[in-house]
Amino acid sequence: MARLVTGYGENYYPVGKIVGVRGIKGEMVVQHTMGKNPVLEQWEVVFIEERPQSFIPYFILSIEPSRVDEFWLQVDEIHSREQALPLVHKQLYLPEKEFRKRAPHSPLQLLGYEIRPQAPDHPQVLGVVEEIVQAPTQLILKTHYQQKEILIPLNEQTWLGTDARLRHVYVQLPEGLLDVYL
């Protein structure tokens, strides 16, 4: 699950999780959620959530893609395997502006967008994308409507389009979906 978090007056977007350590010099293996072709060049800093709501900046020494959904990350101050191991399973974040620049193809771009159903019998705005669950065959958007948590599947049949300028995502809700929750 990926959610937008706020800390120090700024929105932070999740970009991945440290899943292992490579070698003896503290290089970390990061499984990222930045979508296809993330912009890794000239990336200077990443924030690691060492404790809840604690975004510690780490300056990047090197970053190298290893697979389509992974990269290797070497940061300043981490120079051994022993120093890197406590960071395994920790989440990496970027401030919103930097995330939008570095991950233009990530589905997490939809965090914070208004969900607008395209059916006349539904409200104009269903809610705001609070969280995104990446299931194998589709995305699932989490929002709140009438004080109830609603999960909306996002796939080829339900996703009608987006308007990045207005920060809207347009959906065709499956028949009876709101009735299940309300």
pLDDT digits (tens, 9 = 90+) for 90-139: 999 888 888 888 887 788 888 889 999 886 566 688 899 988 887 878 88
Tell me what pLDDT residue 178 has.
85
The pTM (predicted TM-score) of the whole model is: 0.71
Residue 80 has pLDDT above 90, yes or no: yes
List of domains in the chain: 2-103 (2.40.30.60), 112-181 (2.30.30.240)
104 φ/ψ angles, rounded to the nearest 5 degrees: -65, -20
Nearest to 65 by CA among 20, 21, 32: 32
CA distance linking residue 139 with residue 145, whole number of Å: 19
